Amino acid sequence: MIKLFLLFIILSLNFQASAQLTPFEQNSTQNVTATYSEAISFYQALDKKYAQLKLITYGLTDIGIPLHLAVLSRDGDFDPAEIRKKNKTIILINNGIHPGEPEGIDASMMLARNLLKKNEIPANVVICIVPIYNVDGSLNRGNSRINQNGPENYGFRGNYQNLDLNRDFIKSDSKNSISFQQIFNFWRPEILIDNHTSNGSDYQYVITLIQTQKDKLNPILSGYMTGKMVPYLYTEMEKSGFFMSPYVNNVAEIPDNGIEGFLETPRYSTGYAALHNVIGFMPETHMLKTFSQRVKATYLFMQLTVNLVERDSKIITTNKKKADLNTAAQTNFTLNWKLDTTQLAQILFKGYEARRKKSEVTGFERLYYDRNAPFEKQITLRDKFVPALEVQKPIAYVVPQSWEKVIQLLKLNGVEMKQLKADSQIDLDMYYIADYKTVERPYEGHYVHSNVLLNRVMQKVQFYKGDFVVYVNQVQNRYIVETLEPQGDDSFFAWNFFDSVLGRKEGFSAYVFEDEAAKIVRNDPRLLKQLEEEKLVNPELTKSGSLQLNWIYKHSIYYEKTHSRYPVGRLMNNLKLDLK
Ligand SMILES: [Zn+2]
C-alpha cells in the first residue's frame, strides 16, 4: 500500500515537472513544436498553479473552438479598464497566425512559465498571449513548408476556410479575426508582437524584424519607436548573441542589391494595429536556421521587449494617450503610401556570397548561397514611404443600416455611433465610383478593387430611422477613415463590401426609349449640345446609335441615382441631426 502511494507521489511529481516543461524543451533535439492541445493544456496548468496567469476564451475560430488568451498580471488584476487606470502598459503577443511558423508558440509558453516561476512579471506591464491564433491551421499538421529547417511537424498556413489570417484584419472573413479584434479592442494594448518565420534568401541572421512602417505610424509613436525602441532591441539582441537585421525584402534576387521597407497595410496584423495607434513588431526568424535557434531568438526578442516596456512604461502609455488625442483631432488622412525610391540609407549587412553552379536536376545554372563565404558589407535600404493619396475627413459619415457587416466591424473596433431618430433627407457629399480595377482571380476569397476613381456630388439623400452616423472626432478616426474611404488600399470597398452598388437595376428597351429620348432632347436643347460636345472627344460615341441613346438615358431623370453611388455619405457641415 505504502509502495503504491509512493509510486503515485513519484508519478504525480513527474507529471508536474513535465507539465512545466514544454514539448520543445523535453525533446533532446529541440526540433518539435507543441500541438494545439499541448499548448492549451500547458497554459491551463499554469492557470491552475499561479494566480498571476488567467486563461480566458474569446469568441470562436472557424473550426468551432474558442480563441484563448493567456494574461499575465503581477497583481492578479485581469480587468483591462482597471489596469489602464493603474497606468500599466499592455503588450499583446500573437502566435501561430501562420502555424507553420511556430517559434512564438513554444517561446511564449516558456516565457510565460519563466516569468511566473521566477516571479518576474513586471509590476507595470501586463502581458497578453494568444497561444495559437490559427487554431484550424494548427490542427492540420504536416510538413507543408518544404524549404524550412524544422520542426518535425507543424500546422498549415491556411485556416479552415483556407484563408491567410494575416490578410484578414479588415475584411474579417474568419471568426478568428472577429475574436481577435474583440481581444484587441477590449485589452487595447500599447504594443503588439506577431511572431513569424521568413522565407527568402540566405544570410547570417537568425532573426529579422518588421516594425510598423514608421512613416504611416502616428509621429509621436513613430519617433519613440525608431529613436528608442528599435535601437534598444537591436543592441540588446546583439549583446545576447543574436544579430538582427531589418526584414530582408529584396529589391532584386539577392540582398546584395539592396532591400526595401515592408509596407504592412491594414490587412496585416501590425497594419491593423497602426490604425489604433499601437506599435507593432513582426519578428521573422529565418527558415534555414535550426528550430532551436529560432525559438531562442524569438524568446529573447519578447523578453527584451518586456524589459524595455518595463523601463519605459510611463513614456509608452503617455505617448499612446497623446497619439490618441492627436488622432481624434486630425483632419487629413493618408489613405495610400508609396516608397520614395530616392531616399537611400546604407546598412551593414551580414550575408553569404551568392554564387552560381549547374543544377543537378535541370542542368541550368542555379543560385546558391555559399555558407563558407560569409561577408559583411554595406547594402542600401530604402524605407521612406510618402503619401500617395490623402483625404480630408468629413464631419461625419452616414452609413445606412443595411450595410450590417460594416456596422458590426465599426462597433467591434470601438467606434462610437449614433442613430437617426427619424427618416430624414440629408445634404451630403456623395461619391460616385467612376472607375476601378479588379483582380482577375480571387485573392483571399475576394475580387479586390484598386485604383478607384471618384466623382464627388452634393446631393440630398434619403435616410431612414436607425441609420448610423459616425462622427470623425474619435480615437478610432484612422480605422473609420481608412476603412470607409473607398480609395483606401484596404478599404471596405476594396474588399467588396459594397459591390452590389456597382450593378444597375433597371435599363431601357431601345425601340421604346427612342421616342422618349427624342422628346428629352427636344425639351432640353442644352443636353443635345452636351451630347454633340461629347461626340467631338469620343469617336466611339459618334459611331454608335445605341451608345448615344445610352448617354441620353444616363443623363435623364429616369437614370437610377444609386447606380455606382457609394452608399456611405459624407456630412461636410455642422448640420444638427436628430440623433439617439
Ligand atoms: Zn508569417
- For 422-443, the pLDDT digits (tens) are 999 999 999 999 999 999 999 9
What's the CA-to-centroid distance between 528 and ligand 1, angstroms?
Answer: 59
Distance from C-alpha of 541 to C-alpha of 248, rounded to nearest angstrom: 51
pLDDT band at 3 (very low <50, low <70, confident <90, very high): low
Query: Who surrounds ion ligand 1 at CB < 5 A?
Result: 98, 101, 196
- Please state the rounded mean pLDDT for residues 559-564: 88
What's the CA-to-centroid distance between 407 and ligand 1, angstroms?
Answer: 30
- Please state the rounded mean pLDDT for residues 120-129: 98
- Residue type for position 280: G
pLDDT for residue 14 is more than 50: no
What's the CA-to-centroid distance between 341 and ligand 1, angstroms?
Answer: 26
Whether residue 151 has a cis bond before it, omega within 30° of 0: yes
pLDDT for residue 320 is more than 80: yes
What's the CA-to-centroid distance between 162 and ligand 1, angstroms?
Answer: 15
- Please state the rounded mean pLDDT for residues 229-257: 95
Q: Are strands 279-286 and 191-194 parallel, antiparallel or unpaired?
A: parallel
pLDDT band at 551 (very low <50, low <70, confident <90, very high): very high
Tens digit of each residue's pLDDT (9 = 90 or more) over 39-80: 999 999 999 999 999 999 999 999 999 999 999 999 999 999
pLDDT for residue 280 is more than 90: yes
Query: How high is the pLDDT of residue 562?
Result: 87
- Please state the rounded mean pLDDT for residues 96-110: 98
pLDDT band at 15 (very low <50, low <70, confident <90, very high): very low
Average pLDDT, the chain: 95
pLDDT for residue 12 is more than 70: no
Tens digit of each residue's pLDDT (9 = 90 or more) over 175-193: 999 999 999 999 999 999 9
The answer to whether 365 touches 356, Cβ cutoff 8 Å, is yes
Query: How high is the pLDDT of residue 504?
Result: 87
pLDDT for residue 7 is more than 60: no
Query: How high is the pLDDT of residue 19?
Result: 53
What's the CA-to-centroid distance between 262 and ligand 1, angstroms?
Answer: 13
What's the CA-to-centroid distance between 196 and ligand 1, angstroms?
Answer: 4
Q: Report the alpha-carbon angle 211-214-219, nearest 5.
A: 130
What's the CA-to-centroid distance between 282 and ligand 1, angstroms?
Answer: 9
What's the CA-to-centroid distance between 507 and ligand 1, angstroms?
Answer: 48
What's the CA-to-centroid distance between 193 and ligand 1, angstroms?
Answer: 12
3-class SS at 96? Answer: coil
What's the CA-to-centroid distance between 198 and ligand 1, angstroms?
Answer: 6
Tens digit of each residue's pLDDT (9 = 90 or more) over 463-480: 999 999 999 999 999 999
What's the CA-to-centroid distance between 98 and ligand 1, angstroms?
Answer: 5
Question: What DSSP line would sit under 412-479, residue for residue?
Answer: HTT---EEBSS-EEEEEEEEEEEEEEE-SS-BTTB--EEEEEEEEEEEEEEE-TT-EEEES-STTHHH
What's the CA-to-centroid distance between 106 and ligand 1, angstroms?
Answer: 15
What's the CA-to-centroid distance between 283 and ligand 1, angstroms?
Answer: 9
Query: How high is the pLDDT of residue 133?
Result: 98
Tens digit of each residue's pLDDT (9 = 90 or more) over 447-459: 999 999 999 999 9
What's the CA-to-centroid distance between 103 and ligand 1, angstroms?
Answer: 11
Distance from C-alpha of 208 to C-alpha of 88, rounded to nearest angstrom: 28
Whether residue 486 has a cis bond before it, omega within 30° of 0: no
What's the CA-to-centroid distance between 165 and ligand 1, angstroms?
Answer: 10
Cell numbers linked to 94:
500573437
If one counts every other C-beta atom within 10 angstroms of the C-beta of residue 339, the result is 17
What's the CA-to-centroid distance between 552 and ligand 1, angstroms?
Answer: 53
What's the CA-to-centroid distance between 264 and ligand 1, angstroms?
Answer: 12
What's the CA-to-centroid distance between 101 and ligand 1, angstroms?
Answer: 6
Query: How high is the pLDDT of residue 560?
Result: 86
Distance from C-alpha of 201 to C-alpha of 180, rounded to nearest angstrom: 32
- Please state the rounded mean pLDDT for residues 327-336: 98
Q: For the chain, give every domain's residue range.
A: 32-329, 387-504+562-571, 510-554
Query: How high is the pLDDT of residue 267?
Result: 98
What's the CA-to-centroid distance between 194 and ligand 1, angstroms?
Answer: 9
Nearest by Cα to 191 from 115, 283, 112: 283
What's the CA-to-centroid distance between 128 and ligand 1, angstroms?
Answer: 20
Q: Are strands 191-194 and 89-94 parallel, antiparallel or unpaired?
A: parallel
pLDDT for residue 302 is more than 50: yes
What's the CA-to-centroid distance between 62 and ligand 1, angstroms?
Answer: 19
Query: How high is the pLDDT of residue 176?
Result: 98
What's the CA-to-centroid distance between 447 and ligand 1, angstroms?
Answer: 23
Query: How high is the pLDDT of residue 298?
Result: 98
pTM: 0.94
What's the CA-to-centroid distance between 431 and ligand 1, angstroms?
Answer: 37
What proportion of the chain, given as a percentage, has pLDDT over 70?
97
HSE, side-chain direction, 13 A CA sphere, residue 244: 28
pLDDT for residue 379 is more than 50: yes
CATH topology of domain 32-329: Aminopeptidase (3.40.630)
What's the CA-to-centroid distance between 408 and ligand 1, angstroms?
Answer: 28
